[in-house]
Every structure is written in C-alpha cells, then in structure tokens.
Amino acid sequence: MPRFTYGTSTPRGRRCATTALGVAAACAITLLHPGLAAADDGERSRRALPVYYVGTYLVGESEPGDPRDRLYREFHATRVGDKPAGWVKKAVLDLLDTPADDPEYTGIWPGPVDVLKVTVRAPRGTVSIDMTGIDGPGDPVLEDEAALALQQLVYTATAAASLGGETIDKVVVKSHGEPITQLWGADADQPMSRDPFARSPIWIHTPAQGERVEGEVTVTGSALFYENQGQWSLFDRDRVEIDAGSVVGDAGGLYRPYTIELGALPVGTYTIKVYDVGGLGLPDRGPVDTKEFRVR
C-alpha cells in the first residue's frame, strides 16, 4: 500500500536521529509513565503523549503473503500545557507529521493536513477536532486506507484526551467547523469510536524503541494470541537469534497483558520480537511487534 512520506508539510514535532540503515537510533528522551507530568516548567510540563501509527504484517500461505495494516502505539515525551485539548492537539500533530520512533511504523495521512481547534467535553466523553486539508474527494488510492486513518485519529485523540483521568471515548471530526460525513471515500459517522480490531493483536510496551535499560530486562506488552500463546525471539546487534521461547497472556480482557523475563544481559544492542504463528504455524505469517533496545 502507498505510504505518506513525512515532510510534505512543515514538521512541528520532535524527531529522532536515524542511522544510515534507516533504523531509528535511541532518542535522547526519557519516556514517562503515560499521563504523568514531570519537570514542571511554568505553565508547561513534560508529558508522555500517546500517538498511534500503522504497522504491517503478513498473513496467508501464498507468497509473498497478504499485508495487514494495524495500529501500534508509541509515547512521545514533550512539553505541553495542562489542558486536555492541548494534549490532543500535540498528539494529533505528531500523528500527522512526526515520524514514529520505531522504523517499522508509518503514517497514512497525506499532507498538508492541519489542526485548527480541539475541544474536549468531558461530561459527554467527547473530543472534537477541527481540521483543514480533509475536505474534497481525495486521491482514490487513499480510499482503502481512509477508514484506518480515521481510527488512527480516534485512537490517538481519545488516548490523549483521557490522560487526566476522564474517560473520553468519542471523537467528532470537523472540516472548517462542520462535521464531516466521509473521509476520502470512507464513512465518518459522527461521533466516532474505537474499533477494537483496528489495533495490532500484539504490542510490546516495554522496552520502548531505542530505550536504554539497566539491570535485568523485562519485556511487557499486551496481545490477542491465537489460543492465548505467542512466541518470542531475542536477537543480538547482528540479528543472530540468541534466545527464544513462548509466552502466555494473563487472564482478563480482549488484549491480555504478558511478561517476558530476559534476565541480565551483557552490554550491547538487542532486538526483541514477539509474534504469533497462529493456525498456520508459520513464523513469518501473523501479527508481530519488535523493539530494538540497548543494555548499558
């Protein structure tokens, strides 16, 4: 599927350095617990804002496989004010024109798109986002991705708006003050809510992409594994598998939390891969998430 190349509109967020191979290097930020503020600086505090991107995995037995696009989440540490509307606006702007820290994630919103105004109505559980650049028929090549683009916006906006403890689970998208009814061919019935199956069946929560860790390494995440059992592999910096095993999700919820104890690792760069072979039993056919991290 075609992908929006970041940079067609003016970048407004922070970026991470990348290596010559295009792999994101470690960001010089400390990821905060979602929603917690630190280092209060006048009216602006440092917060970890949730931003959702799109990743792709393959399914099916035939080659080269059928791609499945799903949502993955990152947290971006930034300085913002103490109002939920500001959190939503910054997170959505990151979604629109800031590359993901993880090089395997991307965006599908074409530029230039901008945010005019965000209004959070906590008693109604609703966040309203007024945007520019989303009216008109759009490019027909985008129609297949428009529904997922809307979900990317809904997931990001509701997560950011809920950081203060309120439950915000509905989104109204407007174009120049008027609610939209479609986006590039996809229906946009207002208000919009999350589709629980738009997210990837597997997420790695920690360590984050490029994170530096000390001591014993614990991998955490949430997943909807086939028959509630997934697989994991640990690779060194040369992409040689040095450890592997299976993982079972804890009880409760559609997407169940899981934990992988890697223990103490020598100083170096590693990649953790969590995947699901599903009913086919094929390691390269099914949901997957990977994270590169460094032990110091």
* Co-location of 87 and 165 in the same domain: yes
How much is the pTM?
0.83
d(C-alpha 134, C-alpha 89), whole Å: 16
Q: What angle do CA 33, 294, 27 make, to 5 degrees?
A: 55
In a domain, 227, yes or no: yes
Q: For the chain, 296 residues long, give each residue's pLDDT as a single digit of tens.
A: 434 333 333 333 333 333 222 233 223 222 333 444 433 344 568 899 999 999 999 988 888 889 999 999 999 999 999 899 999 999 999 999 999 999 999 988 887 899 999 999 999 999 999 999 998 766 655 777 889 999 999 999 999 999 999 999 999 999 999 999 988 888 888 899 999 999 999 999 999 999 999 999 999 999 999 888 899 999 999 999 999 999 998 876 789 999 999 999 999 999 999 999 876 777 788 999 999 999 99
Domain that holds residue 101: 37-187
* Co-location of 63 and 151 in the same domain: yes
In a domain, 240, yes or no: yes
* Co-location of 173 and 224 in the same domain: no
* Co-location of 274 and 224 in the same domain: yes
- Which residues have CB under 8 Å from 56's CB, separation 6+? 1, 67, 68, 69, 70
> What is the total count of domains within the chain?
2
The residue ranges of DSSP E strands in the chain, in sequence order, are 37-41, 44-59, 66-80, 114-121, 126-132, 170-175, 178-179, 182-183, 186-187, 202-206, 212-213, 216-223, 229-235, 241-248, 256-264, 268-275, 288-295
* Co-location of 182 and 213 in the same domain: no
Cis peptide, bond prior to residue 64, ω within 30 of zero:
yes
Residue of 226, 271, 224 whose CA lies nearest to 250:
224
In a domain, 175, yes or no: yes
Among the candidates 128, 154, 187, a domain finishes at 187
* Co-location of 63 and 183 in the same domain: yes
Tokens of 125: 């559980």
* Co-location of 55 and 148 in the same domain: yes
Residue of 233, 230, 253, 228 whose CA lies nearest to 243:
233
* Co-location of 178 and 48 in the same domain: yes
Tokens of 79: 């300085």
The SS3 call for residue 141 is helix
Among the candidates 187, 221, 243, a domain finishes at 187
Residue of 225, 197, 129, 113 whose CA lies nearest to 168:
129
In a domain, 130, yes or no: yes
In a domain, 286, yes or no: yes
In a domain, 19, yes or no: no
* Co-location of 171 and 78 in the same domain: yes
d(C-alpha 228, C-alpha 202), whole Å: 11
* Co-location of 216 and 91 in the same domain: no
Q: What angle do CA 100, 285, 105 make, to 5 degrees?
A: 5
d(C-alpha 52, C-alpha 69), whole Å: 12
CATH of the domain at 281: 2.60.40.1220
* Co-location of 166 and 233 in the same domain: no
* Co-location of 157 and 246 in the same domain: no
